[in-house]
Structure 1
Amino acid sequence: MGRAVDGGRKAALPVLLGVAAVLIWQGVVSLFAVPAFVLPGPFAIAAAFFGNAANIASASLVTGSNALAGLVIGGLIGVLAAVVAAFLPIFDRLAGPTVTALSVVPIVAVAPVLYTMFGAGEEAPRQIVAGIAVFVPVYVNSLRGFRQVRPVHRDLMRSYAAGRWQATRAVTLPSAVPYMFTGLRIASSLAVISALIAEYFGGPVGGLGKSITSAAAGSNYTLAWAYVLGAVVVGLLFFCATAVLEKYSSRH
């Protein structure tokens, strides 16, 4: 009973803080008559959000699909590359500069090049951009996890005459899984952000990035912020989904 009460209090505090922030925001906008092109009020944004729920959901599905594709592809490649690097140190030394370069590649430079390569009507460039953003944190965290096995545990497995795969399955993988999911949790938000930003530089119309640009170009700033709210919701869904998977994996 006590744990339930403590959990309720912990959950209530962030909610209360969020409500207070929204009320202060609305109060400042109303009190100082802040123009909508500077900053719309949260109530107006919420009204635009629910009034255009179908369009926002459609745009969110496009951006979310590209982000999910990038998260899955980038995550798988990141984990596989980390496995190879953990067992082949020479690969780690060779891949290190490439991973470092990928971590600082600007999306604004990559997206237009990919659109030129694949065509302006393809979704693949957005997925590749999201995959690149996902790969780095997943690779770095997974590799760290594979290296967390203590020497005493390795020695213990050798004393039992365990094969390399048996030692990996019994010791290395369980130690690395939490790090993999930490990388995925970090990468989940990056996937959404990268897919959204890539939409600003071309590609098919329909995603959240294009919708934000179109609404702002038409001076409908409240609607633009409503699409931003849609992007926030998508990012939170991705983050929460990976957090739940991480919690589930830690129990098994």
Structure 2
Amino acid sequence: MSGRSRARLVGVGGLVVVLAVWWIAAETAFSASGAVPTPWAVLRQFPDDGWDFYSRHVGDTLGGAAQGFLWGNAVALAIAVLVLLIPALEGVATQVAVITQCLPMVAIGPLLLVVFGGRTPSVFLAAMMVFFTTLIGALLGVRSSRRTTLDVIRAYGGGRWQQLTKVQAISALPATFAALKIAVPAALLGAIVGEYLGGVDTGVGVAMAVAQRQLEVERAWAVALLCGLLATAGYALVGLVSRWVTPWSAGQGLPGGER
């Protein structure tokens, strides 16, 4: 059995175990309170609510998460390039990234809601959630460049820009894509928290908040399960793109035909 097949088998086995534990907990420890419905009850909630309900809420949330994902990653990668060109800025950039990671979303969200309103808090929180991960991942990836390769570029008259585009950018791709994979569920979480704070009428966060207030337990769990599935799908999609763009990171060969 290959390593990839073994990993898939382990993944399926883990999913079965999680579902079994969930079902047993729902039928035993939480049977009286009803706070944890069975997996079957949650699955039945999807056709009961209908396609229109989920498509409307999911579409708005994905839109905000996608905007935040693009903005946050664009700013992070731009700063990473700037740090490479001007190394003295690395300390400042790292401190800014750490600050954005430490700021509590539940404190920033209401301020953004008061100042801007609408979906701006969702987009901003999604961007803030991905900024730190992508910036640090890109910088660490660039540092993985071999010093001997950089010296060869310099020996042939290449400057800082040639080193960045010919060596460091390629070396940074695997780590950057690893950060982008993590950024997908982070952006989704930021967008949901922004919706959860209010100011909008549709979105996964809104649907979850309404279900909790109305004690619709199965619907709340169905929405939460859907969020997990969306995050997993986005993570897997970026992983596929990463495998296609950087096949050498999976041991399938090196750029330029090296082995």
Normalised by the length of structure 2, the TM-score is 0.88
Count of equivalent residues: 247
1:99 to 2:101 alignment: no
Residue 227 of structure 1, aligned match among 218, 223, 230:
223
Deviation at 1:148, TM superposition (A): 2.1
Partner of 2:112: 114
Aligned equivalents of 1:228 and 1:22: distance in 2? 15
Partner of 1:123: 119
Conservation of the 8 A alpha-carbon contact between 2:57 and 2:202: yes
Conservation of the 8 A alpha-carbon contact between 1:146 and 1:175: yes
Code of the residue aligned with 2:74 in structure 1: it is L
Residue 39 of structure 2, aligned match among 42, 56, 71:
42
Partner of 1:51: 48
Q: What is the identity percentage for the equivalent residue pairs of Structure 1 and Structure 2?
A: 24
Deviation at 1:32, TM superposition (A): 5.3
1:122-162 deviation digits (Å, cap 9, x = unpaired): 21221011001111110111112222222211111122222
1:182-221 equivalence runs, <5 A: 182-221=178-217
1:151-181 deviation digits (Å, cap 9, x = unpaired): 2111111222224333322211111111111
Normalised by the length of structure 1, the TM-score is 0.91
Name which of structure 1's ranges 130-139 and 228-237 shifts more when overlaid on structure 2: 228-237
Deviation at 1:33, TM superposition (A): 6.3
Deviation at 1:202, TM superposition (A): 1.4
Name which of structure 1's ranges 54-63 and 102-111 shifts more when overlaid on structure 2: 54-63
Residue 137 of structure 1, aligned match among 133, 137, 162:
133
> What root-mean-square deviation, in Å, do the aligned CA atoms of Structure 1 and Structure 2 show?
1.9
Greater RCO (CA < 8 Å, at least 6 residues apart)? 1
Structure 2, unaligned runs of 5 or more: 248-254
Name which of structure 1's ranges 38-47 and 54-63 shifts more when overlaid on structure 2: 54-63
Code of the residue aligned with 1:116 in structure 2: it is V
Structure 1, unaligned runs of 5 or more: none
Conservation of the 8 A alpha-carbon contact between 1:126 and 1:198: yes
Residue 16 of structure 2, aligned match among 7, 15, 19:
19
Specify the SS of the correspondent of 1:203.
coil
Cα distance change of structure 1 residues 24 and 135 upon mapping to structure 2, 3 Å threshold: closer
Residue 85 of structure 1, aligned match among 83, 86, 92:
83
Aligned equivalents of 1:134 and 1:59: distance in 2? 22
Cα distance change of structure 1 residues 216 and 14 upon mapping to structure 2, 3 Å threshold: same
Residue 155 of structure 1, aligned match among 151, 154, 157:
151
1:236 to 2:232 alignment: yes
